[in-house]
Chains A and B, each alone.
Chain A
Amino acid sequence: MLRDVSGSLSSLASTSLLSDHCLGADGASPLHPKVIHQPAKARSVIFLFMAGGPSQLETFDPKPLLDKLHGQPRPSQFGEAKYQFVQTDAKLLGTKRRFRKYGESGIEVSDLFPHMSTCIDDLAVIRSCHGDQVVHSAAQYELFSGRTVPGFPSMGSWALFGLGSESDSLPAYIVLPDPLGALEAGQPMYMNGFLPAAYQPTMFRPGDRPVLNLDLPAGVNLQQRQRTLKLIRELNEATLRPGDDELEARLNSYDLAFRMQTRAPEVFDLGHETKETLDLYGVGQQPTDDYGRRCLLARRLVEHGVRFVCVVSGGGPGNMQWDAHKDIEENHLRKASETDQPVAGLLQDLKRRGLLDETLVLWGGEFGRSPEAQGGKGRDHHNLGFTMLMAGGGVKGGQIVGATDEIGLRAVESPHHFRDVHATMLHQLGLDQHKLTYPHLGRDERLTFLEGNVIDEIV
């Protein structure tokens, strides 16, 4: 998707005759950088969304007891759980993965992640995450917006609403979906909900036109279009009253549009990267090429001031996501091999460029997976206890937060709901969850809904 789309456009960027009209000078722009509530540790967020629900039991939360109880029903003292498919008579499923301690912190990581395990000292492993829903769509809404129904703003839109944009030539909130297809919660998951349209995500698309409307229509060249833009400005100025900020802002939005169209393609172009960097992300090799490209693009985007980037792993039918109902081994070996090196590459690359300090990286899915087997070899959805990772952006790595019980069923020690993850993210961005509100249908809504707790151990 990231072939050179800039062509001759980028070389003309510097000739923009409009560049002296700076949008940032106008307070009317909704994306103007804003005053934050508290000192910020992170400037940007990259969310590595492992869609479909990666298993905590095969990845970052080893459970020897589960292996011992393999084939037995769940002992009653572990309590009740509701699954989407698995019935109450299901038998526990041990894991075939092997765990080893890594780094100075000695945190255990499974053999699914030979690359990510080398970054473990940068990662905070939150083993006690939980959510309220056990079906994809509702859980995905909760992961993104803190609410189990669609229509509420996603965390990316909230971040943008709270902070504005630092880029004068790129969209500030970008989603890089998996080219394999859509997810259950669909587009509404990423959207701005009731926040103004300026806080919408820009969905990158597979193929050579990643951003809708960013390239010129067929048969129109840039010089021609520059003349048209000049005409638009002149005709609009002919009727503009002095002091009409609203229409002034509208004229300025054309300048931003023009800058996006000329400069953004250059940022999207991975041709500027060295072979060493491409190799680091696994670009050019299978099966890492696709996710590697998108992770590398994410780095380029935050480097250029993009506020929030979501890089989705998984799309289309369930088994093309981390949704391992049928065969946890086959699914997770495949999904991990696609993403392990790109994620590690991203962390290392951010770090060596000094970007990890200001970029919060979040890794996880909408839920984890059941300790019980589904159909023998698979695992069902499971929302009561699963792992998410955080790195960078002021987060203290190399530590474990919380714990699930002895079979990985339920978060029992320092449980952290999605809203705690949201509260922590906002906190690192310098935003106070209670102050970042927007009135909607009689209430001042916020991302964290019932109020989240910042995960103090890691900030």
Chain B
Amino acid sequence: MLQRVVVVNTFFLTCLLAVAIPVNTGALAGQDAAGTPDRLTFENDVVPILQSRCFKCHGETKREAGLDLRRRFTLMSGGDSGSAISPGRPQQSLLLELIDDELMPPENEPQLNEKQIDVLRRWIASGAVIAGKEETPLAADDDMADLVTEKARQHWAFQAVREVRTPDVADVSWVRTPVDAFILAELEQRQWQASSPATRTALIRRLYFDITGLPPEPDEVTAFVNDKSSNAYEEVVDCLLASRHYGERWAQHWLDVVRFAETEGFEYDRHLPDAWRFRDYVIDSLNDDKPFSQFVSEQIAGDEMQPDDPQCHTAAIFHRLGAVRRNAGNPDIALSRNEVLTERTNIIGEAFLGLTVGCARCHNHKLEPITQKDYYRLQAYLASTSEYDIPLASPEDQQAWETRTAEIKADMKKLKSRIVDATGKREAQLQQELRQLSYDLPPHPATIPSIRNDFENRTPIHVLRRGIWEHKGVAVGARPLSVLVSMSEPELAGDATLPKTQLARWLTNDQHPLTPRVIVNRIWQHHFGTGLVRTANDFGTHGDRPSHPELLDWLAGSLVKNDWRLKSVHRLILLSNTYRQRGLSLKSSGTEAAAADPDNRFLRHFSRRRLSGEEIRDAMLAVSGRINLKAHGPSVVTPVDPELTGLLYNPSQWRVTQDTREHDRRSIYLIAKRNLRLPFMEAFDAPALQSSCPLRGASTHAPQALELLNGSFANDMAAAFADRLRRECDGDVDRIVEQAYCLAVGREPTVQERDLSIKFLSEQPLVEFTLAVFNLNEFVYVP
């Protein structure tokens, strides 16, 4: 990450040549005698010089140009212009260059004498060593006073959730749930109108996709349209929220936020054994309407909370979901550990706190009142957390797996030793054999790829200068973010036995200003397309301001009062008149209000929504009648073109699920592999699986059309849909067209649509018609 900037001048080149020539003669060999007693050291020889001339501006109180000269490691990590020294190479050390060029110290300050400069030069030339094994860490900067000011604490999202009264409105008849009062009050203030209600056919389609991610069946549409009872709508909402498909739909939103994937990414993209258990845990938790506070706690501290409950260990897979870099060769254990801790810390900021905490890893946050020390204090909760795969299989099965795996690995090892001696084509051939052998490795027995505390190997957490693990600053203990607690809040003792439980308790206490606001905003966002706060992962001072701050607080308060149960929030929103308005495209409502509020943040109408890739695929499966609604279990690997698996570093990782009926399961049950995403999902804006995705895009581009026209899945589904229509309509073209529309877009065709379709079918095969139906705007957009 460090940018090395070396100023080049002729002086420097001359030096380079002058020093390089003696190398041939071995004249410098004597300087390499590390550990000789008379060797210059930082503490004994260099500090006295720097202290007298440099520390004033680059030390305790000031860090001009970001440079701190008090330790060797701070010289190494350097300042804004890069590293100050280059051990062994005085000519390439910025420190000496600036001194030699008489740029430092500044001209009105006391200068270094020849002898002092010579000591610095010789110290660098001889390797720039320190006296002992390790340097003493620097004392903490007392930098909170600058950053965590009283004003910063006043930021709306850091304030306690307020008790809010629903506002008074003129048109009380429009208020169906309190949500409407908040929305209407803002509209009335601007003298804007809410839209008329959506048609019943539009509403039922909207509800089904929104809550379950699946289209309604034609008879469900008919029943709702014809049900004139006053609670018909409410009954549908409750029925859908009670359906297990609710969890299958809403789990995806959470999986996006926690960047759920079942593989580790990077070079090996190793598969985490049974990571799908986390997906099922999320689905079940949502379906059970588990209090969100408990849901958060289990993910953060499941291993500590209920050591005997496999569900809690499954929840804690949360800590394993980030990409992990593993590589062969010289192990850099501390570096890898640092990378893992970074991933685990950042996601807690993004997912639960809705803060860009990760920005404070290398320096105090540039935009938010979050210090670097805060960052490492948050990380300190995870200092003892280490990977732990909990075996679930019987000891016999586990043993059998180990034996078989060992056999194949032994064969692979033999093959590898032959590869060492081979070259060219022969080597390629053996590599191929090796790959082939890896296909025979037996699947992992049942496991929970979780974590546990390993106190013996606790990573001491330091503030790391520029985020570099070798550059350790002061040691820190666990503590919440300064801006959210009192300045005198103590750090957690290093030997605390349940550190993550402490973190979970803090995050889920009923008074927490962020956790409930962040989650109700996510829910709002998925119902309406835009959050009350548009930056769902960023509630900081530079994030978006809420469009309806009182509504946000009212919803957050209501969540906590309702025992943190998310379905209570869904109901408040879904039953509102606000939600039931007519759906329009953002750009098509050419009124004055639309010009003033182009993003429709004030909810003058409902915003039409493009379905996600998962919804489009699931809808095609449902409409064609092919869908397999089986719940739970190992992730399904569908067949893809060999050209695509050929792009995997280890193609044998893509083991297609044998039972072909499994291939027609809902998209949430398909494998989430970092290095091979399905082209269908990629085309329709599925996230990259690498970092938290708070909100998906809905772009429009030609590969989507190609996917729906020429893609093997689309054509397969069109054929199945055609078969279904033939079967159900006895070849009656008129009925076929009607049924196709009812199944695919939830309404009967208009006369014009009917005529066009029948004319087409008189000349063209049915499968081309069903393919056309999948390509309708109405099929991929919900009204």
Query: Which residue numbers of A lie inside 8 Å of B, CB to CB?
Result: 28-31, 65, 68-69, 75-80, 82-85, 87, 130, 132, 135-138, 148-151, 171, 177, 179-188, 191-194, 196-198, 200, 202-203, 205-207, 209, 212-217, 220, 224-225, 227-229, 231-232, 234-236, 238-241, 243-247, 249-251, 253-254, 256-257, 260-261, 316-317, 319-320, 326-327, 330, 334, 405-406, 412-415, 417, 419, 440-443, 450-451
Contacts A87-B330, A184-B266, A238-B753 supplied; 14 other A-B pairs, CB < 8 Å: A82-B330, A85-B330, A192-B688, A194-B691, A197-B685, A228-B772, A231-B757, A232-B776, A247-B585, A317-B428, A320-B428, A413-B6, A415-B6, A441-B538
- Give complex CA distance A30, B697 in Å: 12
Q: Which of B16, B127, B538 contacts A76 (CB 8 A)?
A: B127
A75 touches B329 (CB 8 A): no
Tell me how far the C-beta of B324 lies from the nearest C-beta in chain A, rounded to whole angstroms: 11
Which residue of chain B lies nearest to A212 when distances are taken between CB atoms in the complex?
Answer: B679
Residues from chain B with Cβ under 8 Å of A186 in the complex: 267, 269, 647-649, 674-676
B707 touches A206 (CB 8 A): no
A213 touches B777 (CB 8 A): no
Is B325 an interface residue when CB atoms closer than 8 A count as contact? yes
A-B contact pairs, 5 of them (CB 8 A): A79-B86, A138-B266, A138-B325, A181-B646, A256-B705
B674 touches A247 (CB 8 A): no
- Give complex CA distance A61, B28 in Å: 24
Residues from chain B with Cβ under 8 Å of A148 in the complex: 1
Residues from chain A with Cβ under 8 Å of B692 in the complex: 441
Which residue of chain B lies nearest to A317 when distances are taken between CB atoms in the complex?
Answer: B431
Given the known interface contacts A77-B89, A319-B427, A443-B359, the answer about A202 and B703 at a Cβ–Cβ threshold of 8 Å is: yes
Given the known interface contacts A75-B29, A213-B710, A228-B768, the answer about A238 and B756 at a Cβ–Cβ threshold of 8 Å is: yes
- Give complex CA distance A130, B704 in Å: 39
Residues from chain B with Cβ under 8 Å of A406 in the complex: 20, 23
Given the known interface contacts A212-B641, A246-B585, the answer about A203 and B20 at a Cβ–Cβ threshold of 8 Å is: no
Which residue of chain B lies nearest to A85 when distances are taken between CB atoms in the complex?
Answer: B329
- Give complex CA distance A454, B342 in Å: 31
What secondary structure prevails in chain B residues at the interface with A? loop
Residues from chain A with Cβ under 8 Å of B715 in the complex: 217
Which residue of chain A lies nearest to B266 when distances are taken between CB atoms in the complex?
Answer: A137
Is B327 an interface residue when CB atoms closer than 8 A count as contact? yes
Stretch of B53-61, B228-236, B239-247, B586-594 at the chain-chain interface: B586-594
A77 touches B28 (CB 8 A): yes
Given the known interface contacts A206-B646, A256-B702, A441-B692, the answer about A245 and B6 at a Cβ–Cβ threshold of 8 Å is: no
- Give complex CA distance A256, B709 in Å: 13
A200 touches B431 (CB 8 A): no
Tell me how far the C-beta of B635 lies from the nearest C-beta in chain A, rounded to whole angstroms: 19
Q: Which of B28, B427, B431 contacts A75 (CB 8 A)?
A: B28
Is B136 an interface residue when CB atoms closer than 8 A count as contact? no
A78 touches B641 (CB 8 A): no
Is B423 an interface residue when CB atoms closer than 8 A count as contact? yes
Given the known interface contacts A236-B777, A316-B428, the answer about A75 and B265 at a Cβ–Cβ threshold of 8 Å is: no
Tell me how far the C-beta of B530 lies from the nearest C-beta in chain A, rounded to whole angstroms: 15
Q: Which of A138, A151, A234, A260 has the most CB of B within 10 A?
A: A151
Residues from chain A with Cβ under 8 Å of B202 in the complex: none
Residues from chain B with Cβ under 8 Å of A216 in the complex: 710
Tell me how far the C-beta of B192 lies from the nearest C-beta in chain A, rounded to whole angstroms: 20
Is B32 an interface residue when CB atoms closer than 8 A count as contact? yes
Given the known interface contacts A65-B20, A149-B690, A317-B431, the answer about A250 and B649 at a Cβ–Cβ threshold of 8 Å is: no
Question: B652-692, CB under 8 A of A: which get 1 and which 0?
Answer: 00000000000000000000001111010011110010111
Residues from chain A with Cβ under 8 Å of B19 in the complex: 77
B4 touches A150 (CB 8 A): no
- Give complex CA distance A77, B128 in Å: 11
Tell me how far the C-beta of B41 lies from the nearest C-beta in chain A, rounded to whole angstroms: 16
Is B760 an interface residue when CB atoms closer than 8 A count as contact? yes
B706 touches A413 (CB 8 A): no
Given the known interface contacts A78-B89, A213-B703, the answer about A182 and B647 at a Cβ–Cβ threshold of 8 Å is: yes
Residues from chain A with Cβ under 8 Å of B323 in the complex: 149-151
Question: B746-776, CB under 8 A of A: which get 1 and which 0?
Answer: 0000101100110010011100110110011
Residues from chain A with Cβ under 8 Å of B32 in the complex: 75-76
Is B535 an interface residue when CB atoms closer than 8 A count as contact? yes
B561-607 contacts to A, CB under 8 A, are: 585-588, 590
A253 touches B125 (CB 8 A): no
- Give complex CA distance A99, B417 in Å: 35
Tell me how far the C-beta of A304 lies from the nearest C-beta in chain B, rounded to whole angstroms: 15
Residues from chain A with Cβ under 8 Å of B12 in the complex: 413
Given the known interface contacts A181-B646, A246-B585, the answer about A197 and B753 at a Cβ–Cβ threshold of 8 Å is: no
B267 touches A231 (CB 8 A): no
Tell me how far the C-beta of B179 lies from the nearest C-beta in chain A, rounded to whole angstroms: 27
A77 touches B266 (CB 8 A): no
Residues from chain B with Cβ under 8 Å of A65 in the complex: 20, 23-24
- Give complex CA distance A187, B679 in Å: 11
Is B167 an interface residue when CB atoms closer than 8 A count as contact? no
Is B778 an interface residue when CB atoms closer than 8 A count as contact? yes
B267 touches A185 (CB 8 A): yes
Which residue of chain B lies nearest to A180 when distances are taken between CB atoms in the complex?
Answer: B428
Residues from chain B with Cβ under 8 Å of A215 in the complex: 710
- Give complex CA distance A182, B266 in Å: 12
- Give complex CA distance A229, B4 in Å: 56
Is B420 an interface residue when CB atoms closer than 8 A count as contact? yes
A76 touches B703 (CB 8 A): no
Given the known interface contacts A84-B328, A247-B585, A442-B542, the answer about A261 and B427 at a Cβ–Cβ threshold of 8 Å is: no
Residues from chain A with Cβ under 8 Å of B646 in the complex: 179, 181-182, 205-206
B525-561 contacts to A, CB under 8 A, are: 535, 537-538, 540, 542-543
Is B87 an interface residue when CB atoms closer than 8 A count as contact? yes
Question: B66-96, CB under 8 A of A: which get 1 and which 0?
Answer: 0000000000000000000011110010000
- Give complex CA distance A413, B7 in Å: 8
A231 touches B641 (CB 8 A): no
B423 touches A241 (CB 8 A): no
Residues from chain B with Cβ under 8 Å of A415 in the complex: 4-6
Name the 8 nearest CB pairs between A and B, nearest first.
A151-B690, A442-B356, A205-B643, A186-B675, A84-B329, A257-B705, A137-B267, A198-B701
Given the known interface contacts A187-B676, A214-B710, the answer about A417 and B29 at a Cβ–Cβ threshold of 8 Å is: no
Which residue of chain B lies nearest to A142 when distances are taken between CB atoms in the complex?
Answer: B1
A257 touches B760 (CB 8 A): no
B350 touches A441 (CB 8 A): yes
B718-740 contacts to A, CB under 8 A, are: none
Residues from chain A with Cβ under 8 Å of B771 in the complex: 228
Residues from chain B with Cβ under 8 Å of A149 in the complex: 323, 325, 690
B535 touches A442 (CB 8 A): yes
A239 touches B777 (CB 8 A): yes
Question: B1-33, CB under 8 A of A: which get 1 and which 0?
Answer: 111111010001100100110011000110110
Tell me how far the C-beta of A105 lies from the nearest C-beta in chain B, rounded to whole angstroms: 20
Residues from chain B with Cβ under 8 Å of A213 in the complex: 679, 703, 706-707, 709-711
- Give complex CA distance A83, B328 in Å: 11
Is B395 an interface residue when CB atoms closer than 8 A count as contact? no
Is B424 an interface residue when CB atoms closer than 8 A count as contact? yes
Given the known interface contacts A187-B676, A188-B690, A217-B710, the answer about A260 and B702 at a Cβ–Cβ threshold of 8 Å is: yes
Residues from chain B with Cβ under 8 Å of A217 in the complex: 710, 712, 715
Q: Which of B356, B358, B646, B757 has the most CB of A within 10 A?
A: B646
B710 touches A200 (CB 8 A): no
Tell me how far the C-beta of A92 lies from the nearest C-beta in chain B, rounded to whole angstroms: 11
